[in-house]
């Protein structure tokens, strides 16, 4: 499946039970290039190794992928983003540091205005 936003490859995964309250779909797909989030028909364990070596694994990675996928519409997804970021932090992830590192990499082109959203995310934390 290719990303409708940038044409990059997408990774489909089942949303971990601990994060299900923050999303409408049980399976989703995240673009490995721009981290756009879409519903998916099927998925397995979250595997974000195709995104970046910096990207966390497991539930923490899923929490960050979901949160980053929702950042293009912060006003509509604020409560869910807050919950997802807190879940990632509970797993030892520094969300702002991750955003900075992803932005610095040439292979990841986030689908939102990073400087603007980063500032807004700082206000949430």
Of 38, 18, 5, nearest in space to 84 by CA: 18
d(C-alpha 68, C-alpha 60), whole Å: 12
pTM for the full predicted model: 0.91
Q: pLDDT at residue 118 above 80?
A: no
pLDDT tier at 75 (50, 70, 90 boundaries)?
A: confident
Residue carrying structure tokens 């205005």: 113
User: What was the pLDDT predicted at 124?
Assistant: 72
Question: Is the separation of the CB atoms in 27 and 8 below 8 Å?
Answer: no
Q: Which DSSP letter does residue 92 get?
A: T
- pLDDT tens readout for residues 32-70: 988 899 999 988 898 888 888 889 999 999 999 999 999
6, 7, 14, 71, 92 from 125: Cα distances, Å: 29, 32, 26, 14, 15
């Amino acid at each position: 499946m290719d990303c409708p936003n940038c044409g990059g490859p997408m990774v489909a995964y089942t949303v971990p039970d601990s994060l299900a309250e923050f999303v409408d779909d049980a399976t989703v797909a995240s673009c490995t290039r721009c981290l756009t989030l879409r519903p998916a028909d099927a998925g397995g364990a979250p595997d974000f190794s195709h995104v970046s070596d910096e990207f966390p694994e497991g539930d923490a990675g899923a929490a960050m992928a979901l949160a980053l996928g929702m950042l293009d519409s912060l006003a509509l997804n604020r409560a869910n983003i807050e919950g997802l970021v807190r879940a990632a932090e509970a797993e030892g992830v520094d969300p702002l540091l991750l955003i900075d590192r992803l932005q610095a990499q040439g292979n990841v082109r986030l689908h939102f205005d990073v400087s603007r959203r980063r500032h807004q995310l700082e206000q949430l934390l």
